[in-house]
Amino acid sequence: MSGVFVTGTGTEVGKTVVAAAIARTAAASGRRVAVFKPAVSGLDEGGEPDHALLRRAAGSSQPDEEIAPYRYGPAVSPHLAAELAGETIDPRRLRAGAGAAAAAGDTLIVEGVGGFLVPLTLGSIGSRAAGYLIRDLARDLALPIVIAASAGLGTINHTLLTVEAVRAAGLEVAAVVLTPWPDEPGELERSNRETIAGLGEVRVDALPSLHLDEPASWPALEVDGL
Ligand SMILES: Nc1ncnc2c1ncn2[C@@H]1O[C@H](COP(=O)(O)OP(=O)(O)OP(=O)(O)O)[C@@H](O)[C@H]1O
Ligand SMILES: [Mg+2]
């Protein structure tokens, strides 16, 4: 499977925007891009849901069900959203769903949910039946990881923790992407970028603020191996 898995330092840090920019770049270079998001929550909040923005950026015609098999109204962690809906997220359905999405294109862009250690299922806490985390799905899909992170204060620690967790899972960090990157970065943002690259021994890209309505206006965001 060729593609990337976009995680982030947490929720609302720019995963969808980064995944969309990578998808758009790959599509603009002639690839058939498929997108996948294991679970979407917060549909009650309105606005364009992640699966719709990803589809639009990729120029894909995948149905909602194929992009995001689990979709929930409340803005809560996916395991809790599933519980409130009276169901449990099934890792086998996620693996099969990602495989089916991948078969719809020649490049698969996956967006995680929240940060890298967010649970999709809890298993039974205190017993040997382990939960299934975003980390476990990423490991099962074996795609290189892109980490979306903010550019400002606090990002060094959050990003380096995520880099360590990804590598501890045996996965490759293809890049960190700081988003949105200010038009006129100050000492703080420039220093954050250099510090993460140096201490994390990782490539760090910067994504400027995009007009989300106009993918044709977005700058390219290339990832090695795509
Ligand atoms: N480069 C950018 N250009 C424009 N908007 C951005 C950019 N980066 C982040 N944002 C904005 O920051 C907010 C969070 O971004 P986004 O929805 O991509 O986060 P997320 O990590 O996918 O969140 P979630 O955990 O809910 O999936 C959004 O309002 C988004 O429009
Ligand atoms: Mg998102």
Print burial letters for 129-163: b (CB count within 10 Å at least 16), e (below 16): eeebbbbbbbeebebbbbbbbbbeeebbebbbebb
Percent of the chain with pLDDT strictly greater than 70: 98
Boundaries of every domain in the chain = 3-217
Report field, pTM of the whole predicted structure over 0.95? yes
Q: What is the pLDDT of residue 104?
A: 87
Identify the H or E element spanning 167: helix 155-168
User: Catalytic positions, please?
Assistant: 37
> Which residue has the CA at smallest separation from atom 26 of ligand 1?
12
SS3 (DSSP) at 20: helix
Q: pLDDT averaged over consecutive 10-residue blocks of the chain (226 residues)?
A: 95 98 97 98 97 98 98 97 96 97 95 97 73 97 98 98 98 98 98 98 98 97 91
- Is it true that domain 3-217 has CATH number 3.40.50.980? no
Q: What is the pLDDT of residue 226?
A: 86
First to last CA, the chain: 11
* Residue among 7, 11, 12 to mutate when testing ligand 1 (max atoms within 8 A of CB): 12
Q: Which of 93, 42, 79 is nearest to 16 (CA)?
A: 42
Q: What is the pLDDT of residue 135?
A: 98
Q: What is the pLDDT of residue 117?
A: 97
